[in-house]
């Protein structure tokens, strides 16, 4: 088996708010699973799963070591949905030649996430 990302976690101080954000912005299906305030994320066709869980950190400014990037079909529509649903753009859209266009946003919980329209997809 190769070494590749299979699962990601989103910590949230307000799990319901974070759940609504990702359901609306990316159309993910999110459902209860496991302990209280723990939800499994179905991103669709991707071979990666995720979860949203209650934050265990007392410091919301604590540095997180990984940033995930979500592939989107329409970057401008994603940017609009992010803003309309409580997120904010933290790095405006820019081009990575031969790869696609990328921006970074903060979700409703302050987590940094990438959104990218990949070339050819």
- What are the structural domain ranges in the chain? 7-56+66-118
User: Residue 104: which pLDDT band, with cuts at 50, 70 and 90?
Assistant: very high
Please state, rounded to an integer, the average pLDDT across all residues of the chain: 87
pLDDT > 90: percent of the chain: 62
Rounded Cα–Cα distance for residues 44 and 53 (Å):
19
Question: pTM surpassing 0.75?
Answer: yes
Which pair of structure tokens corresponds to residue 60?
A: 């919301």
Q: Among 76, 120, 85, which Cα is nearest to 106's?
A: 85
Rounded Cα–Cα distance for residues 47 and 22 (Å):
18
Regarding the domain with residue range 7-56+66-118, which homologous superfamily does it belong to in the CATH classification? 2,3-Dihydroxybiphenyl 1,2-Dioxygenase, domain 1 (3.10.180.10)
């Amino acid at each position: 088996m190769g070494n590749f990302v299979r699962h990601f976690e989103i910590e949230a101080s307000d799990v319901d708010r974070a759940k609504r954000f990702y359901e609306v912005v990316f159309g993910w299906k999110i459902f209860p699973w496991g302990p209280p305030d723990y939800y499994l994320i179905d991103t669709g066709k991707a071979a990666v799963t995720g979860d949203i869980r209650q934050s265990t950190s007392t410091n919301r400014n604590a540095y997180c070591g990984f940033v995930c990037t979500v592939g989107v079909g329409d970057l401008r529509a994603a940017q609009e949905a992010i803003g309309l649903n409580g997120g904010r753009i933290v790095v405006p859209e820019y081009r990575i030649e031969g790869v696609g266009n990328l921006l970074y946003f903060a979700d409703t919980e302050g987590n940094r996430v990438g959104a990218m329209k990949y070339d050819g997809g």
